Every structure is written in C-alpha cells, then in structure tokens.
C-alpha cells in the first residue's frame, strides 16, 4: 500500500518538478490509501489558492484511493509519534497511518527523510 503526503499531492496537481516521483503511487489507486488529514490539508490549500470548485475536483481525485479515517488507535499512536519525533500533528497522523497499514509513504517533507518505509525526494526550487 502507498500513502502520498499532502505535499506530494499538491506537487502532482500543480505539475511541479517532482510530480513524476509521486505519479506512480497516486495513479495506482488499487494500492493507494489516503488519510483523511491529507484530504483536509489539500482541500484547504487548493481552496485558498484556486477556489472551491477546484478544491472539490482535487478531492474527487484523492478519493479514488481508499480514505482512511482517524481512529482512536491511529490518533493515540500519532500523538506518541509526534511527541517522540517532534512532528507536527498532521505528520504524526500520516506516519501513524502509514505504520498501521504497513504502507510506503511518498513525500518531500524533510521530517520524514531517512525513516523506514519512506520514499523521500528533495523539494526542488
């Protein structure tokens, strides 16, 4: 299974330089899981920059994968990870979801660089 971090979705949708890195995971919808926090982050960012209609289109693309709700075990594990690794809330939730589903995380977020199960690429300017 694959999880694409919110930054990866935004990179892919904007067709930025690292879009191809995320494309295989995003387009393999049979093996794609999407934490609900990623829907929130992407919807919010696209809403702010491109409006509600485009934000809804982007979310429609995201729900082609399996949406993973924030459950009590994931929330509690995310809190522990956030404290132990000094991660922001959303990153803790994404990492806990990745571990719960034994998935690979695709990201360009430096918080995750070098972690087991993470496919990381540096953000290009």
Average pLDDT over residues 102-107: 98
The full set of domains in the chain, from first to last, is 2-120 (3.40.50.1010)
117 Cβ neighbours under 8 A, 6+ residues apart = 98, 99, 102, 103, 104, 105
* Structure confidence by residue, pLDDT tens digits, 30-54: 999 999 999 999 999 999 999 999 9
pLDDT(124) > 90: no
At CA 114, angle to CA 93 and CA 90, rounded to 5?
Answer: 15
- Report the percentage of the chain scoring pLDDT > 90: 98
Claim: this prediction has a pTM higher than 0.75: yes
- Mean pLDDT of all residues belonging to the chain: 97
pLDDT(95) > 80: yes
């Amino acid at each position: 299974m694959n999880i694409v971090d919110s930054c990866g979705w935004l990179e892919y949708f904007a067709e930025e330089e690292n879009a191809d890195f995320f494309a295989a995971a995003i387009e393999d919808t049979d093996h794609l899981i999407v934490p609900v926090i990623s829907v929130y982050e992407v919807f919010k960012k696209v809403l702010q920059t491109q409006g509600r209609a485009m934000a809804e289109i982007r979310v429609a693309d995201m729900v082609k994968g399996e949406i993973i709700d924030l459950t009590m075990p994931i929330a509690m594990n995310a809190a522990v990870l956030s404290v132990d690794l000094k991660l922001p809330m959303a990153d803790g939730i994404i990492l806990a979801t990745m571990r719960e589903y034994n998935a690979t995380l695709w990201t360009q977020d430096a918080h995750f660089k070098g972690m087991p199960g993470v496919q990381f690429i540096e953000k290009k300017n």
